[in-house]
Structure 1
């Protein structure tokens, strides 16, 4: 959930923990779980119901539409029936809990608590359209770790809690992380100087938490104070590229109403 740009709080599985792409192993796990292959090439559960998933894809987003083709082919090969729904209203369908699989993504700063909290039980909706969950996921152990990280004042201990939370998300896999897109920022170095980036080493300017980037901004040497305002970024000059956005592939847990959860 945290990109490697923020190396201190970034967590990566070890070789023993890593789950690698393996369709054959995925098929074996489905067999083991009792999803038998039907005569039509679609797996069925113990009640004979086909394994059918609705896949919401953002219309006009070439990157996501292309990726969805690969994912659909792989899942179909495994015997999972996929209904692709390409729509400009995917977010609304997602919020209503009407999708089984969607794409989503976010930016993140050096404090990941908000992004971690969005995966907690407290973000589940009480009614369709409520809540702000990314995944319709709930794990009480995960919630306890995230809550502890919010009050932990020791940096090393808090970092370990962040790692533990990310490890649980990786193992439970309500989200499957696909890639970290790079974000491009550009400005006139002959006009503006003194930006503080986040992180400090090749970090971002506009996407960071807070307004620290602009506190040190000033006219470049030789540029008068009446020149281009420091708040104006012009798309030429030095380019900063940073992988701070995250694109993820979400297997949505079907939304339940408050009555159903009771």
Structure 2
């Protein structure tokens, strides 16, 4: 109760009068742990930076790869990409990009190939702390042709060879001294966190002009932006972690809209639409967002496959979806959503089967004990801790239902919530959760899960906690499948490999699949131009087209 009252007090403090029509206030449920484009993978950071920092390439709302910071996508067909023979009969790719002529950092400095080379060096450094380091390691050389044109020489010919979405440019004129003086400390010394309002850090239509930690971020137009002129003189993004308070802020005028990428859970948005649909437009966008439980496979309990299988069979996910989400959140069988063309619809489903779950726990040595909670022959109780994000009512409800369902098969579940910036900035990144973490992965179309499933991507002190394989999953078979699917250009053969990936994932269960979510955008009727994408490249990548009608 105290937490709820505190959240409402924060809500009232943030509310205030409605903003002017050349301003926009947006509510999201998390505050970024960092603003550096390359460090960590928290969605809140991606969302905020999407207004102010553009990647070279991204997937648009039609799920097509497009240039944002480049002039033309290189393809083998247009001659800007060419296959390169490598030693041992392998094939690489050389792809040539030209940066937009009008690309400027907000301090007026041109975005150049110097930034490309510097960003690549940061990403390749083993101690830089870059989250998605694989792309940088694959780029063996950056060939600079002039100030705007460069060729990336990559050691693999992959089906998505021209998608360099993870090559987030860092301004060399600002970040180079901070990196080169102490690479292992760079993640703690980046200007994005120590000098966040420096205009030279941003190259999008807006730039960050104020940051109040844990509260809000203010953005204003980038005077050196060369694209469509943005419509708002000021955008305020407010982090309101309690979703009831988020809704209250919208109704009181403290915010104008709630972001679908990080907003109200579906069931709350549907109820909101019934009450306030005449005032707001509510868009439920089916997405690639994968809600799941990451399991720490270093745990002696969860390292046993029979226990993992029992936990999944002991969950009635269909009932959870029907009762909490009106059946509009698809139950997940693996990490690939049905919306993706590589989804394997013919694989068997793990239906609710508490009887079989109990049998598996018996076989794993966990017998019914005092109070209905199972124990092993050493008298240790089958007790697990689940950590999830504080203030997210949907996740709290799901966690409580899982707690009740697992108790019926003899599993005790202890619930713990943490502020998102703590959970994603430290707990999961450094694998500090003892058993399981409930959160979502936001992915791109046909997203190869190297960073989350390949054994080389387990975060540890030696790699400065880079990589996103938080479960510690290490499967030679999965490694081989990931390695092969990336380099298979034939779509039919690639889809067959994708099927094997999904089958192995469903068999090994490094994580427990829950749902594929729908993003709930709640927009004022007069706001136009917002296009939900349904994937990890968020709608603000096109924020220069947002405006009041």
Q: TM-score, normalised by structure 1?
A: 0.67
Q: Which residue of 2 aligns with 1:249?
A: none
| 1:44 has 2:375 as partner | yes
Q: Structure 2: which 5+ runs fail to align?
A: 1-334
Which has more radius of gyration?
A: 2
Q: Which residue of 2 aligns with 1:141?
A: 477
- Is the contact made by 1:13 and 1:167 (CA closer than 8 Å) also made in structure 2? no
Q: Which residue of 2 aligns with 1:162?
A: 498
1:110 corresponds, among 445, 456, 460, to: 445
Distance 2:368 2:400 in 1: 22
1:94 corresponds, among 420, 428, 431, to: 428
Q: Which residue of 1 aligns with 2:455?
A: 121
User: Cα–Cα, structure 1 residues 208 and 57, in superposed 2: closer, same or farther, change >3 Å?
Assistant: closer
- Is the contact made by 1:42 and 1:51 (CA closer than 8 Å) also made in structure 2? yes
User: Cα–Cα, structure 1 residues 38 and 123, in superposed 2: closer, same or farther, change >3 Å?
Assistant: same
Distance 1:235 1:139 in 2: 51
Distance 2:504 2:454 in 1: 12
Q: Which range moves more in the overlay, 125-134 or 104-113? A: 125-134
- Is the contact made by 1:42 and 1:79 (CA closer than 8 Å) also made in structure 2? yes
Write the deviation string for residues 146-205 of structure 1: whole angstroms up to 9, x where unpaired.
0011111212111211121111111111222222112356899xx87xx9x9xxxxxx54
Distance 2:406 2:459 in 1: 28
1:84 corresponds, among 415, 419, 427, to: 415
How well do the aligned residues superpose, as a CA RMSD in angstroms?
3.2
- Is the contact made by 2:383 and 2:413 (CA closer than 8 Å) also made in structure 1? yes
- Is the contact made by 2:519 and 2:534 (CA closer than 8 Å) also made in structure 1? no
Distance 2:416 2:524 in 1: 39
- Is the contact made by 2:451 and 2:468 (CA closer than 8 Å) also made in structure 1? no
Distance 2:378 2:537 in 1: 50
Structure-to-structure mapping, 1:164-243, within 5 angstroms: 164-183=500-519, 205=533, 207=535, 231-234=544-547
| 1:5 has 2:5 as partner | no
Residue 43 of structure 1 aligns to a residue whose secondary structure is coil
- Is the contact made by 1:52 and 1:83 (CA closer than 8 Å) also made in structure 2? yes
User: Cα–Cα, structure 1 residues 108 and 57, in superposed 2: closer, same or farther, change >3 Å?
Assistant: closer
- Is the contact made by 1:9 and 1:162 (CA closer than 8 Å) also made in structure 2? yes
1:72 corresponds, among 368, 387, 403, to: 403
Write the deviation string for residues 60-116 of structure 1: whole angstroms up to 9, x where unpaired.
000100000000111222222222112213332223323211112122222311x35
Distance 2:518 2:477 in 1: 32
Across the two proteins, how many residue pairs are aligned to each other? 207
Deviation at 1:119, TM superposition (A): 1.3
User: Cα–Cα, structure 1 residues 50 and 206, in superposed 2: closer, same or farther, change >3 Å?
Assistant: closer
